[in-house]
Chains A and B, each alone.
Chain A
């Protein structure tokens, strides 16, 4: 099969799964009204699938900071930090994130994907082992592949399975990096961190926790699962993203291991990517302040989460195992998921459609992400739309 034939096969598979003219992936959005509303075609649509957990994309403080940074430092850095230097903002944000986590070191990356790619491939290498949860995000899989380390999976959130796999590794568990996520992006469930920490200590391994979906969401100051569980000192490396709760784009790794800084000299994704723009850094710094002080936002977020989870449960939808800002409805087939997704869009709600192989265990998902700034009226509107679509689909 030629290179282009392979792409034709992809197109054919897509066509077989999705009807012509339905833009499921990469939906064209014509106008953005706010953190929660936009125009798609001729319709006003409610965003319920954008990971904007604290609703900070339109926060006046963040927009103002970004404007000022463009005025004073320009639109871009035009290269990597190794080649073009580290701006005041890059260094300040790293300092502020290290302070936020009470950690020794922080490195800021241009995307969240790159944060995992760079951190994992910098920490592990050929001859080492990475032991990852089966439901890990693609950035974790890709970081592991880039590292050249041996990749072993354990069954999702199954601690007996993790223990078994660590035991099998014997002495090699000492050169093993275990990777888990604060909140998993598909089903919205949390990692059993206390048990993972116990196992990593028993086997003398190193633990990396990705807080991409839990930053700003869990813990009193929003550090994530490490704060909610009080286990921050037990996790060796924490990665995360600026593109969800912080409303920008970028990523980070924090650690109390001073060796983290050496990644700047060996990690190819860090060395060979242009650094974050001044506007991105400035809006993220402003958002981090709001996130730290965002107890009220978190309270609103969790009120909305509990309302939607309970509404959907009462309507009979099959959901992920626990309430979280990622609420997944689990469908038996791609066709059912597509019908629900389409029905919600026709009723003015934009959610994410996730089909195999992206969804776990061959399932298909319609995934909602809840925001602190969704109003009570909007959440009621969502509940009504899910009820209406369920009625139509069950006929």
Chain B
């Protein structure tokens, strides 16, 4: 990953962590490998609401059909990054 890409990735990850914190206690570590469904127990409805928060946080549109391939925090960061790049 190029340095600027890595910095964007880390920035997205950090901001995403803030929104994911609502699904877990303060002691639970949220890493890129954290599984959204199995570890954070984010069901389909919670995920849809989380996506609206993400859209506002990053000022992007995230089609809910793009979520089919998202299982981990890393995959969600990548999706946000792809949408941001495509918009530029």
Contact = CB atoms under 8 A, between A and B. Distances in A.
Interface of A: 129, 134, 145, 150-155, 161, 164-165, 168-169, 356-357, 362
A229 to B, nearest CB: 27
| Chief secondary structure at chain B's binding surface | helix
Contacts of A155: 52
Contacts of A134: 48-49, 52
Contacts of B63: 129, 150-152
B44 A357 contact: yes
24 contacts: A129-B61, A129-B63, A134-B48, A134-B49, A134-B52, A145-B65, A150-B61, A150-B66, A151-B64, A151-B65, A152-B55, A152-B62, A152-B64, A153-B48, A153-B51, A153-B64, A164-B56, A165-B61, A168-B55, A168-B61, A356-B45, A357-B43, A357-B45, A362-B45
Contacts of A164: 56
Nearest to A168: B61
Contacts of B51: 153
B41 interface: no
Given A150-B61, A153-B51, 20 more contacts: A129-B63, A134-B48, A134-B52, A150-B63, A151-B63, A151-B65, A152-B61, A152-B62, A152-B63, A152-B64, A153-B52, A153-B64, A161-B52, A164-B56, A165-B55, A168-B55, A168-B59, A168-B60, A168-B61, A169-B61
A173 to B, nearest CB: 11
Contacts of B66: 150
A175 to B, nearest CB: 13
Nearest to B60: A168
A134 B52 CA distance: 10
Contacts of B62: 152
A136 to B, nearest CB: 11
Interface residues of B, number: 17
A153 B63 CA distance: 8
Interface string B8-50: 0000000000000000000000000000000000011100110
A155 B64 CA distance: 14
Contacts of B48: 134, 153
A176 B75 CA distance: 27
Interface in B59-86: 59-66
Nearest to B67: A151
Contacts of B64: 151-153
Nearest to A148: B65
- The 9 A-B pairs of least Cβ separation, nearest first, read A150-B63, A357-B45, A151-B64, A168-B61, A152-B61, A151-B65, A151-B63, A357-B44, A169-B61
A11 B83 CA distance: 38
Nearest to A358: B45
B83 to A, nearest CB: 11
A228 to B, nearest CB: 29
A357 B46 CA distance: 9
Nearest to B51: A153
Contacts of A153: 48, 51-52, 64
A16 B65 CA distance: 30
A145 B43 CA distance: 19
Contacts of A152: 55, 61-64
